[in-house]
A and B are shown apart, each in its own frame.
Chain A
Amino acid sequence: EVQLVESGGDLVQPGWSLRLSCATSGFTFDDYAMHWVRQAPGKGLEWVSGITWNSGSIAYADSVKGRFTISRDNAKNSLYLQMNSLRPEDTALYYCAKDLVGAGIDAFDLWGQGTVVTVSS
């Protein structure tokens, strides 16, 4: 079965760190770029970060640049998001999403169910 399963979401205080994981199965993970997309409560979707198949190209939204780090382990078919210096505005449901292509960015044809990150004192 083709699926993405996120984990690692939690309730943390401002300034803390958190690492999200996305375990994948059912497709050739290292053929595709991967992304993190989030949705804050009552808000729309926001692209957070993306990484190409070989980690050769990595990009971030301005809102997380310098604080978040995306990575992948193709041997483990897994995607990660290291989130540092968390802020209340980072509170959201974080989705892992698979791209249609490997070497660039196109569209997200497979999504996980998401993991909740809450940043509050």
Chain B
Amino acid sequence: QSALTQPASVSASPGQSITISCTGTSSDVGYYNLVSWYQHHPGKAPKLMIYEVTKRPSGVSNRFSGSKSGNTASLTISGLQAEDEADYYCCSNVDSSTLVFGGGTKLTVL
């Protein structure tokens, strides 16, 4: 159960767009369409932003979108806002009953 690979940090200015990658293998990200993304502000509970690669839960801004190509999933945030500054984690099924998270990416809004 090796962690999925994410960049440690990304940064951009308000109004810009960023993409966070999440690289796994043909056994997890590449095999299952069950990649999810979580936003985590320190001291608060994580929040589901994207599930099943591209779906957005009710209440999540349409500035957040997900995609996948091969063994790499991506989270794109458009029109960056100050409140988007947080840690972001991807997660994928490894098999029918186990999961693995990515190492996390710290997003800084300059």
Contacts and interface: CB of A to CB of B under 8 A. Distances in A.
Interface residues on A, range: 20 to 34
Contacts of B87: 44
A46 B101 contact: yes
B34 A114 contact: no
29 contacts: A44-B3, A44-B89, A44-B102, A45-B40, A45-B46, A45-B89, A45-B104, A46-B101, A50-B97, A50-B99, A57-B96, A59-B98, A60-B98, A63-B1, A95-B46, A105-B96, A105-B97, A105-B98, A105-B99, A106-B34, A106-B51, A107-B36, A107-B48, A107-B51, A107-B52, A108-B91, A109-B51, A111-B46, A111-B47
Contacts of A85: none
Interface of B: 1, 3, 34, 36, 38, 40, 45-48, 51-52, 57, 87, 89, 91, 93, 96-104
